[in-house]
A and B are shown apart, each in its own frame.
Chain A
């Protein structure tokens, strides 16, 4: 493999008035793993998408082997030897594993696709992860039959199939279990010796310190520093990433008195993913759900809310209910903050006011009494310290943290007794997270029963006194008090108790 050196200098990308990247820089060489770090919204993804030709920068330079390069389409970047693995998967649902991996560069014979050769090469690639995936991962398998970790592996193999000189792993380990991550890192070390350059975009410090040689940090769209991994530590990198760390106090909340009413009781809940989960949640309790992504946490929350079908017994406020539609859950004073606010929680092109009141319009008569609606919206906005131009601005103009506040505000307007949250601080900057934690604590102290899934162990450790860890659709451990430690959380997430 020919050596490669890549320099990105002073790249800028704006979308209308929003600056995604103000001053992006990166320097990568063969045989090196460069980690790219930054909080959500720092410009990490934008920078990596510029490198692969998916996004066109407004200004800046890219130099490959010292010569200027610009990409007008993804296949140009690929031809220059740059390949990327993203977390937002780029797989085609209606094509098979082999077809996806070789899309655009299928092996040909006399101008026609050579399917046998395609299958053979796919099998060789799949062998790289041999033994760590279920046997259903075959060249002719349909993509929609695969689990998230299998899809991630296909993504990695796809990037590899282009024989890249530079490979970008953009949050590529999120869906993989620890053994798969180990194997991936073994492969990365092989690639290094073969002369490949690797860019590792991640927020997992532990992995960065395991695999990277140097780290480049982005903050608010600017590259603020580069460090050799051997010469730095976690604290220094975190300090570069954020202005003022968000300190989650480790003061445990007092245990909930046993005479508090049980707001939610779930017994043997089953969905296609859940294999029989039971739990009790009292008023004033902040119960955490933990575990790796995709183990059933979202299903549990959605099932309680009546958004998906389930079997088993659910008792809310003392009455056995089985909601068939979210509206029924809402009428029982239950609320759900869903996992993906863009696609599940917000009407992006509508105004902040309309988003805040979406669940409550029936309470304002017909014709709607707009002044009262606006006043209520305004009050909620103030309570949440929402930073916005006006109630009529589209919700898409808000930052991640403020947008999430709108989602919560929508539900707070209804004063729910049971609040369900699906990974609510994903993609929110550190300052907003701190405000959010305070809000949760206030709600808890006021008597709301809260059930809350987080993919961030620190959050669970800092907020909850009791955490149910889900693994493979069942509760693998209930951790509380002194038993609630990071080691136990991680162990339970893997299925080991």
Chain B
């Protein structure tokens, strides 16, 4: 029984890289969409999908890092951090372009601080990532309520909308350019820095990594800090698209961010994966999401289909070792 899983597991022969499979899957689904919803498959829709996928992709960057880091790594506070990042930007800039950069600085700092708390809890207190990031999501949401007191005052600086949402280079929106730059930066980080190599190492085997001189705790904490900062950055960028904020802005991105990573071939157990895969995964998920929207599927069915699709994708990509060999 040769499942797709077998194709990915490096049998010594040529293995098809999962990101490529995901990319092809996304394109195929896009074409199929045209059959289900006539008029779906056209260049404008394609650009739109890629643009929306870019936001998800940026948000899923941090998730990629923590999942690679192993130790059941996951960041369930990403959704709440997206909301916080957007709301902070909204209020601090209050519509003024000149305050965009300072706001960005604060957003990144706050995100990294929350990530630091996550990382310390995981590395030094031995708390399971699932539990602490889920709890931290509550804290961040609480912070949002506390900070805004329900009043969402502020304004989106026009420059953000111009640069991110609208076309920047030719017909390509700025956020896509940003996404590609992020992709390159993530590749550099993961494949061409000692940090990246150490990150994969602790994802595979923390004991062997430590005995080879890797400062495991340091890497874990830095990873969660990066994840927090990237999630908050995702919120910052998202504001350029939504132009407004609401208290539940980021939550719908949390689950898809995890799904994108898994679909892209990054192993949930850690130690193997890439951000290219996450990018392809984000595309696949966005195609599905846009298709469901075009078919005007009601929320109940959207949830069911989303869950079912993820189960199918997990079955193809994420199966674990059998108890009996």
Contacts and interface: CB of A to CB of B under 8 A. Distances in A.
* Direct A–B contact in the complex, CB atoms closer than 8 angstroms: yes
Contacts of A16: 11
B304 interface: no
Q: Which of B10, B209, B211, B272 has the most CB of A within 10 A?
A: B211
Interface string A324-350: 011100100000101000011111111
B207 A344 contact: yes
Nearest to B198: A361
B324 A56 contact: yes
Contacts, number: 88
B194 A349 contact: no
B192 A367 contact: yes
Interface string B223-249: 000000000000000000000000000
B197 A358 contact: yes
Given A354-B200, A358-B201, A345 B12 contact: no
A367 B200 contact: no
Contact of A73 (B10, B192, B207, B324): B324
A338 B198 CA distance: 19
Given A15-B325, A73-B324, A362-B194, A307 B211 contact: yes
B213 interface: yes
Given A17-B12, A368-B193, A349 B211 contact: no
B208 A349 contact: no
B215 interface: yes
Given A347-B209, A349-B272, A366 B192 contact: yes
Contact of B208 (A327, A346, A367, A394): A346
B201 A347 contact: yes
A397 interface: yes
Nearest to A325: B215
Contacts of B214: 327, 358
A393 interface: yes
A116 interface: no
Interface in B188-227: 188, 191-194, 197-198, 200-201, 204-205, 207-215
B193 A347 contact: no
B193 A358 contact: no
Contacts of A346: 205, 208
A326 B210 contact: yes
A410 interface: yes
B10 A326 contact: no
B208 A343 contact: yes
B210 A348 contact: no
A55 B324 CA distance: 7
B62 interface: no
Contacts of B12: 17, 389, 393, 397
A367 B11 contact: no
A359 B201 CA distance: 11
A141 interface: no
A330 B210 CA distance: 11
A389 B200 CA distance: 22
B212 A359 contact: yes
A54 B322 CA distance: 12
A120 interface: no
A17 B10 CA distance: 11
Given A362-B194, A393-B12, A394-B10, A345 B211 contact: yes
A366 B193 contact: yes
A224 to B, nearest CB: 25
A465 to B, nearest CB: 28
A368 B204 contact: no
A446 interface: no
Nearest to B9: A16
Nearest to A337: B211
B213 A56 contact: no
Nearest to A345: B208
A368 B215 contact: no
Nearest to A414: B213
Nearest to A341: B208
Interface of A: 15-17, 54-56, 73, 305, 307, 325-327, 330, 336, 338, 343-350, 354, 357-359, 361-362, 366-368, 370, 389, 393-394, 397, 410
Given A307-B211, A325-B213, A358-B212, 14 more contacts: A55-B324, A56-B325, A326-B212, A343-B205, A350-B200, A358-B201, A359-B213, A361-B198, A366-B192, A366-B193, A367-B192, A368-B191, A389-B12, A410-B212
28 contacts: A15-B325, A16-B11, A17-B12, A54-B324, A55-B325, A305-B211, A307-B210, A325-B213, A326-B211, A326-B212, A330-B213, A336-B211, A338-B211, A343-B208, A347-B209, A347-B271, A350-B204, A357-B197, A358-B208, A358-B209, A367-B188, A367-B192, A368-B191, A368-B192, A368-B194, A368-B197, A370-B192, A393-B12
Question: Closest 8 A-B residue pairs measured CB to CB?
Answer: A367-B192, A361-B194, A347-B204, A327-B213, A358-B212, A330-B213, A359-B212, A368-B192
